[in-house]
Structure 1
Amino acid sequence: MTEDVRRVFRMDNEVLAFRFTATVSNRTGRTPRERLTDPAQLRMWLGATGLDVTEVSPTGLKDAVGLREAIYRIGSAIAAGEKPKPKDVRTLNTTAAAGHAKAALEHGRAGWHLTETTPVSDALGVLATDAIRILGGPDRGRIKNCEGPGCAGLFLDTSRAANRRWCSMNTCGNKVKKSRSTAS
Structure 2
Amino acid sequence: MTGSLDVQSSPEGFRLGNEILAFRFVATLGERRGDPVERIAAPERLRAWLTTNGLGGADMPVSDALLRDAHQMREAIHRAGTAVASGGVPDPADEELLNRWTARHRARLVLTGGQAQWHLPDTDPARAALAIVALDAVATLGGHRDGVIKRCEQRTCGGLFVDTSRGGRRRWCSMATCGNKVKKANLKAARDGTEAGSYGPAT
* TM superposition score category, shorter chain reference: over 0.9
Cα deviation digits, residues 103-128 of structure 1 (max 9, x gap): 11111111101111121221111001
In structure 1, runs of 5+ residues without a counterpart are none
Report the Cα distance in structure 1 between the residues aligned to 2:189 and 2:166, rounded to whole angstroms. 30
> Structure 2-normalised TM-score?
0.85
Report the Cα distance in structure 2 between the residues aligned to 1:169 and 1:100, rounded to whole angstroms. 35
Q: 2:14 maps to what in 1?
A: 9
Cα deviation digits, residues 137-159 of structure 1 (max 9, x gap): 24476000000120010000010
Q: 1:25 maps to what in 2?
A: 30
Name the SS of the counterpart of 1:104 in structure 2: strand
- Where has structure 1 moved over 4 Å in runs of 4 or more? 138-141
> Structure 1-normalised TM-score?
0.93
Name the SS of the counterpart of 1:156 in structure 2: strand
Moved more, 112-121 or 13-22: 112-121
Name the SS of the counterpart of 1:103 in structure 2: strand
Contact 1:104 1:111 in 2 (8 A): yes
1:69 is the counterpart of 2:75: yes
Match of 2:64 among 45, 51, 58: 58
- Equivalent pairs counted in the alignment come to 182
In structure 2, runs of 5+ residues without a counterpart are 191-203
Report the Cα distance in structure 1 between the residues aligned to 2:33 and 2:143, rounded to whole angstroms. 27
Contact 1:79 1:141 in 2 (8 A): no
Q: How does 1:104-183 map to 2 (within 5 A)?
A: 104-139=110-145, 142-183=148-189
Q: 1:80 maps to what in 2?
A: 86
1:99 Cα deviation after fit:
2.1
Report the Cα distance in structure 1 between the residues aligned to 2:147 and 2:167, rounded to whole angstroms. 13
1:100 is the counterpart of 2:106: yes
Contact 2:139 2:145 in 1 (8 A): no
| Aligned residue type for 2:102 | A
Report the Cα distance in structure 2 between the residues aligned to 1:148 and 1:109, rounded to whole angstroms. 35
Name the SS of the counterpart of 1:105 in structure 2: strand
